[in-house]
């Protein structure tokens, strides 16, 4: 067991991989049971979703740390723009602040930001990205005071309309340049950016602004654009190449496995999922 534990250092579970984020689906495990299952396998990082920890963030964070598991992140900010965001800007700001506060209470190092889609009554992404920049510039001091870093996650362009007008690492870094804060960086998620031939250049440009690195795969013939992500090695993404670029840029943090898979991995025994992702971390990443 000791050898396995040492081997898996630097591997993190995003709890979405066990299907937690859909009520009634997936493992249905408590945060504590999930933490224990990670610790048993030497998976020494974990990322929660707000709904899982919001009743007792500090207690869950303490439990993880006592088990030797780092809480490396919390998913996620509210949508800041787009058809799925709250209607009232004050509500959005309040919920953005609350998500930062929850990350702080949990002791999570990073809050992931998913910005939301195209703002209603506008066309294209430019105006929406300007609104996002406004929200970010106001949230950065709040996050700095809470000692939480913010990771902008560009999502795959298929979500451009509703979930994220931010679709490339280039655009995420452009936002970082505008805001110009040490606590604002990017998350690189293979599922979202694997197709982008500009990615190596943008990863090098990011340098120490990479705050998160998400492992998964893009299935060649994906059946669902939300809930059919692949386990590392089962798809067509160049995981080795992207991982090498991220390391070369200076990122030495965790590799976080985040797989939404309603019809495959979420239907399996969560212990099997953890075992397979641990194995693939070594053979396919």
Q: Which residues bind a copy of itself (CB under 8 A)?
A: 82-83, 117-118, 122-126, 129, 156-158, 160-162, 165, 167-168, 170-171, 174, 194-198, 218-222, 225, 235-241
With respect to a copy of itself, which residue has the nearer C-beta, 28 or 124?
A: 124
β-sheet bridge partners, residue 81: 116
**SS3 (DSSP) at 93:** helix
CA 93 to chain centre: 20
Specify the residue, 96 or 194, whose C-beta has the smaller distance to a copy of itself: 194
State the minimum distance, in angstroms, from the CB of residue 197 to a copy of itself.
5
Of the pair 189, 196, the CB lying nearest a copy of itself is at 196
d(CA 200, CA 197): 7
**42 half-sphere exposure, CB direction, 13 A CA radius:** 14
Instruction: Return the beta strands (E) in 92-243 as ranges.
Output: 110-113, 149-152, 184-189, 210-215
When computed from its CA atoms, the radius of gyration of the chain, rounded to whole angstroms, is 18
Residues 83/134, Cβ–Cβ less than 8 Å: no
In 10 A of CB 27, how many CB atoms?
20
Alpha carbons 134 and 138: distance in angstroms, whole number = 6
Q: Least Å distance between CB 208 and a copy of itself?
A: 24
Q: Measured from the CB of residue 157, what is the shortest distance to a copy of itself in angstroms?
A: 4
Q: Which is nearer to a copy of itself, 88 or 221 (CB)?
A: 221
Q: From the CB of 236, what's the least distance to a copy of itself, in Å?
A: 4
Closer CB to a copy of itself, 33 or 201, in the complex: 201
> Between residues 194 and 265, which has the closer beta carbon with respect to a copy of itself?
194
d(CA 187, CA 190): 10
The CB-of-156 to a copy of itself minimum distance in angstroms stands at 6
Structural tokens at position 275: 């075992």
**CB of 285: closest distance to a copy of itself in angstroms?**
12
């Amino acid at each position: 067991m000791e050898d396995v534990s040492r081997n898996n250092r630097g591997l993190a579970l995003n709890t979405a991989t066990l299907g937690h984020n859909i009520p009634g689906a997936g493992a249905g495990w408590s945060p504590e049971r999930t933490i224990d299952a990670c610790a048993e396998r030497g998976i020494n990082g974990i990322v929660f979703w707000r709904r899982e920890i919001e009743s007792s963030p500090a207690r869950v964070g303490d439990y993880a740390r006592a088990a030797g598991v780092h809480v490396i992140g919390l998913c996620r900010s509210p949508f800041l723009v787009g058809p799925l965001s709250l209607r009232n800007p004050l509500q959005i700001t309040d919920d953005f602040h609350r998500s930062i506060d929850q990350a702080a209470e949990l002791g999570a190092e990073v809050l992931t930001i998913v910005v939301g889609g195209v703002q209603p009554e506008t066309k294209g992404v430019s105006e929406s990205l300007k609104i996002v920049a406004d929200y970010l510039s106001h949230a950065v001091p709040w996050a700095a005071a809470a000692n939480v870093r913010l990771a902008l996650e560009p999502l795959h362009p298929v979500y451009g309309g509703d979930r994220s007008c931010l679709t490339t690492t280039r655009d995420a870094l452009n936002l970082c340049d505008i805001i110009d804060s040490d606590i604002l960086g990017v998350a690189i998620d293979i599922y979202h950016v694997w197709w982008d031939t500009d990615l190596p250049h943008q990863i090098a440009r990011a340098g120490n602004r990479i705050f998160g690195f998400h492992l998964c795969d893009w299935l060649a013939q994906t059946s669902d654009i939300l809930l059919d992500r692949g386990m590392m090695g089962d798809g067509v993404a160049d995981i080795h190449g992207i991982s090498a670029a991220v390391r070369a840029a200076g990122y030495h943090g965790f590799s976080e496995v985040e797989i939404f898979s309603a019809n495959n991995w979420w239907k399996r025994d969560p212990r099997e999922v953890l075992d397979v992702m641990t194995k693939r971390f070594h053979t396919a990443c």
